Chain A
Amino acid sequence: MKKIAVSLIVLGMMAFGAVSLAAPKATGTSVNLGQNILDEIKRNRIMTREEFEAKTAEIKNLMEQKQAELRNQIQTKREKLQAQIEAKRKELRNRLAKIKDEHKKQIVERVYIQVNELNKRITDHFLNVLERLEKVLERISSRAAKAEANGQDISAVKTAITEATNAINAAKTAVQNQASKVYSVTVNTESSLKTDVGKTRQTLHNDLKNVFNLVRTAQEAVRKAATTLAQIPNIDELEIPATQPATTTQPTP
């Protein structure tokens, strides 16, 4: 009887030891995160609902962190550019000294300020659009991951997500480059003022149009991913099962 009691105590301790070792594995999340939740599903085939939600939240945080970093980079660059913009404004004033019409002088200086402010405002807007597109794409990835966990073929969605990610990244780079530009006005003669200022306006317009097209391409790519996702039958009803079955789809390289 004594032996039984001792053995039971020893076994009990062993069992609780095993449970406490297993516990962090069940709730812990990996530090190395993929681009989106699909990468995590690819890496970790057996994922519980809790783990899935934890990973989604972690990826979302990482995405927001990256977005804040880009914003800070642009902001730092702009602060440096501010001095350059002011210096060019003084140069412009000196060049405008040869223009007699005061009203025209004021207009040219105002256009110079407006052009650089518009560049700032529109690049900010584009950045905002891209951040929102990224968030939408993350939602698409989350839903696609749920479909994959339920054995659905999501290869077309994966391709569309990759294309959208690339399009967003290309647009982000373009926005970053555009935000670091300073536009100046060349003044020749009083009679050519309209043409001279018009050239600066057109340069800005063309530059912004190029970035705009990239932003639109990114938007269309995200829309395509959403449309492809919607083609999966009963997509909104699919959830991560309590214990996810091993999926059969091959991970994309």
Chain B
Amino acid sequence: MDQNIEPKIEQSSKKNIIVWVIVGVIAILILLGIWYWLAQKKVVTPVTPTPAPQAPAPTAQPSAPQVPAAPKEDSVSSINQELNSIDTGSLDQEFQAIDADINSL
């Protein structure tokens, strides 16, 4: 009788091990899937380019030229353009009205 029970217990513990191995593998696969999904989500997000203010209407040219994309805000050309548009002004010019009044004294 005892001889019959022992192989049954052994068989049942083997089954348990197999079940846990399967569960472990499935769990790892689920975690990998979630990690991959999160990683993909980050990669796919595109950097939204600044849209061109107004695309020029196509002219009578045979091959339609591509509309040039507006330069990014932090591109060197955009930086230089902004820098060149900054005018510190002329002090002497600002004093002209005052100087005219003083000279009339």
A residues neighboring B (CB under 8 Å): 3-4, 7-8, 11-12, 15, 18-19, 22, 26, 48-50, 53, 104, 107-108, 110-111, 114-115, 118, 121-122, 125-126, 129, 132-133, 135-136, 139-140, 142-143, 146, 193-194, 197-198, 201, 205, 208-209, 212, 215-216, 219, 222-223, 226, 229-230, 235-236, 239, 242-243
A143 touching B79, Cβ below 8 Å: yes
A139 touching B78, Cβ below 8 Å: yes
Q: What 4 additional pairs, Cβ within 8 angstroms, besides A139-B74, A226-B80? A: A135-B82, A201-B99, A236-B75, A243-B43
User: What B residues does A50 contact at CB under 8 A?
Assistant: 42, 45
Candidates B27, B73, B74, B80; contact of A11 at CB < 8 Å: B27
A71 to chain B, nearest CB (A): 18
Total number of B residues with any Cβ neighbor in A under 8 Å = 41
**Which residue on B lies nearest to A48, using beta carbons?**
B42
Interface of A (DSSP majority class): helix
**Which residue on B lies nearest to A111, using beta carbons?**
B101
Candidates B72, B79, B87, B104; contact of A136 at CB < 8 Å: B79
B residues neighboring A (CB under 8 Å): 19-20, 22-23, 26-27, 30-31, 34, 38, 42-43, 45, 47, 71-80, 82-83, 86-89, 91, 94-95, 97-99, 101-105
User: What B residues does A223 contact at CB under 8 A?
Assistant: 83
A143 touching B74, Cβ below 8 Å: yes
**Which residue on B lies nearest to A108, using beta carbons?**
B105
A225 to chain B, nearest CB (A): 9
User: What B residues does A243 contact at CB under 8 A?
Assistant: 42-43
A7 touching B101, Cβ below 8 Å: no
